[in-house]
């Protein structure tokens, strides 16, 4: 049996993974028709907008969509039609951490994955290659295969592949154009390996074959969790060291630079910050914790749990530094928080450190002014409401103001907190800001972004994460 030649691809889910990934596939494979489907009409309308006001912000994404949309890239809510016509189907739906039931707070909620799988089984009338693109627990493919085989029409065959994404928001398009590796997991049967080769052939249109790795299905699923866990572990490790630096007078930049020169360690992901966020790191580690506990490996579970606990500690430690520095009280004081996205060059706020910081400031009854260049105002209110579930939104809005420029956010404040490393914050007229602030004027840099020496010369009291006050 020869591998299927993929001519039509369907992607279920038009979010941060499915949208950019399949847009790039369409761009690089003009001979393949790619249809991205989603039940959210507003999201699909945004992907189809005439002015390319796309539902997610990602540098370079608009250019990709402009080149491919209408040629061989389409966005639709007609899920059934796309499933029926496709040779290969990506399942790229959300897999959030469960909020209730067994495994609440740790396990992944696979409701959307199951719904998509059942829809495929109900609609498909010909053989399909079904590809896990969402981040899922190990052996989820087994559940998907069981559902497909139990509900498939006579004579219809499904092959399940795992093809986890390793994208970093903010550089996703660059990552897709030139990835470190593409990982494809399959059952080690003739049919499974043929399906794997069919998907590999799609990527081979622009990716060197030596970067396309084919492995077993379960290894592929676990590799995604393992990669994110180890990246997050590095961040928590350097953040733990930043606390020691602040206590001893060492400089975390210098320590990380020296450590990164070791070829066995390398310099990447050794930048201290107020904490990691995003859709993957915390979710995947908690998933790994739950998996370890389910497999009766409590020591392994405890090890990975500590990575998340250190991340939460870093956030609370930073907010406590703000309170302690502002003479042990911020009640009634006005604080500017610059940045609400979890990192620069994205509008994604999931698990953003800013949310935790602002929640802590509100608990002290401080007034907070927020500015972020890409996050929608409605998203900020939604996130703050979820972070303070017992406080009515109207009450939150009495203490929080959202503005549309960094300069406006900083006017007449007691303190400024850098929570996201947007480059535009480097261009702020800090002398002008200082002149308008209540004195003493404080800047808290949670992203190692600013020139502390320059700000100190202006007159600011600067607190930078990972830098102690001793000589």
Judge whether 135 is annotated as a binding position: yes
Judge whether 156 is annotated as a binding position: no
Judge whether 216 is annotated as a binding position: no
Judge whether 340 is annotated as a binding position: no
- Does residue 311 have a cis bond before it (omega within 30 degrees)? no
Judge whether 95 is annotated as a binding position: yes
Q: Which of 192, 191, 184, 193 is nearest to 219 (CA)?
A: 184
Judge whether 221 is annotated as a binding position: no
Contact 232, 276 (CB under 8 A): yes
Judge whether 350 is annotated as a binding position: yes
303: Cα separation from own chain's centroid: 22
Judge whether 43 is annotated as a binding position: yes
CA distances from 413 to 25, 109, 420, 446 (A): 47, 42, 18, 18
In whole angstroms, what is the distance from residue 108 CA to residue 162 CA? 16
Judge whether 280 is annotated as a binding position: yes
Buried b (16+ CB within 10 A) or exposed e, 391-408: eeeeebeebbebbeebee
Beta carbons within 8 Å of 75's beta carbon, 6+ residues apart: 14, 35, 36, 37, 38, 44, 47, 48, 69
Judge whether 93 is annotated as a binding position: yes
Q: Which of 350, 97, 108, 351 is nearest to 221 (CA)?
A: 108
Judge whether 397 is annotated as a binding position: no
Strands (E), 173-303: 182-186, 212-216
Contact 11, 34 (CB under 8 A): yes
Backbone angles phi, psi at 283, to 5 degrees: -60, -45
CA distances from 382 to 109, 235, 392, 397 (A): 21, 27, 12, 11
Backbone angles phi, psi at 108, to 5 degrees: -80, 140
Long-range contacts of 391-396 (CB under 8 A, 24+ apart): 391/362, 396/362
Judge whether 423 is annotated as a binding position: no
CA distances from 230 to 91, 225, 268 (A): 25, 9, 12
The kind and range of the H/E element at 336 are: strand 334-338
Judge whether 17 is annotated as a binding position: yes
Judge whether 305 is annotated as a binding position: no
Judge whether 461 is annotated as a binding position: no
Active-site residue numbers? 280
Judge whether 281 is annotated as a binding position: yes
Judge whether 354 is annotated as a binding position: no
Judge whether 101 is annotated as a binding position: no
Strands 182-186 and 158-162: antiparallel
Judge whether 169 is annotated as a binding position: yes
In whole angstroms, what is the distance from residue 83 CA to residue 321 CA? 53
According to DSSP, residue 441 is labeled P
185: Cα separation from own chain's centroid: 23
Strand-pair partners of 417: 337, 444
- Going by the annotation, the residues of the binding site for NAD(+) are 13-18, 38, 43, 93-97, 134-135, 169, 280-283, 350
- Going by the annotation, the residues of the binding site are 13-18, 38, 43, 93-97, 134-135, 169, 280-283, 350
């Amino acid at each position: 049996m020869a591998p299927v030649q993929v001519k039509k691809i369907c992607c279920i889910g038009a979010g941060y993974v499915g949208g950019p990934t399949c847009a790039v596939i369409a761009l690089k494979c003009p001979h393949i028709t790619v249809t991205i489907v989603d039940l959210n009409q507003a999201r699909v309308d945004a992907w189809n907008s005439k002015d390319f006001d796309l539902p997610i912000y990602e540098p370079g994404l608009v250019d990709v969509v402009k080149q491919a949309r209408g040629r061989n890239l389409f966005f639709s809510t007609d899920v059934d039609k796309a499933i029926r016509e496709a040779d290969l189907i990506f399942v790229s739906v959300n897999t959030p951490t469960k909020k209730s039931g067994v495994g609440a707070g740790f396990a992944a909620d696979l409701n959307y994955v199951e719904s998509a799988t059942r829809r495929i089984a109900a609609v498909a009338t010909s053989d399909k290659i079904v590809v896990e693109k969402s981040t899922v627990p190990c052996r989820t493919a087994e559940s998907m295969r069981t559902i497909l085989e139990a509900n498939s029409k006579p004579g219809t065959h499904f092959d399940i592949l795992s093809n986890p994404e390793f994208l970093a928001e903010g550089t996703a398009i660059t990552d897709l154009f030139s990835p470190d590796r593409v990982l494809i997991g399959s059952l080690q049967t003739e049919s499974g390996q043929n399906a794997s080769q069919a998907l590999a052939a799609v990527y081979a249109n622009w990716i060197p074959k030596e970067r396309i790795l084919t492995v077993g299905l379960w290894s592929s699923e676990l590799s995604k969790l393992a990669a994110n866990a180890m990246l997050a572990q590095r961040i928590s490790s350097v953040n733990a060291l930043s606390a020691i630096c602040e206590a001893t007078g060492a400089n975390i930049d210098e320590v990380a630079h020296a450590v990164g020169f070791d070829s066995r360690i390398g310099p990447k992901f050794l930048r201290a910050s107020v904490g990691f966020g995003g859709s993957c790191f915390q979710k995947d580690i908690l998933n790994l914790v739950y998996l370890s506990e389910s497999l009766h490996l409590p020591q392994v579970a405890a090890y990975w749990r500590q990575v998340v606990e250190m991340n939460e500690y870093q956030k609370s430690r930073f907010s406590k530094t703000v309170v302690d520095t502002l003479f042990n009280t911020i009640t009634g004081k006005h604080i500017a928080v610059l940045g609400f996205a979890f990192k620069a060059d994205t509008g994604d706020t999931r698990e953003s450190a800013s949310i935790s910081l602002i929640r802590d400031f509100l608990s002290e009854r401080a007034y907070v002014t927020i500015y972020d260049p890409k996050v929608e105002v409605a998203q900020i209110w939604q996130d703050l409401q979820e972070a303070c579930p017992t406080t009515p939104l109207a009450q939150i809005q009495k203490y929080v103001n959202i503005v549309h420029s960094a300069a406006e956010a900083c006017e007449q404040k007691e303190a400024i907190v850098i929570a996201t490393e947007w480059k535009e914050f480097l261009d702020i007229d800090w002398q002008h800001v200082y002149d308008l602030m209540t004195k003493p004027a404080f800047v808290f840099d949670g992203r190692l972004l600013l020139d502390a020496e320059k700000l100190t010369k202006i007159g600011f009291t600067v607190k930078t994460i990972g830098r102690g006050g001793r000589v």
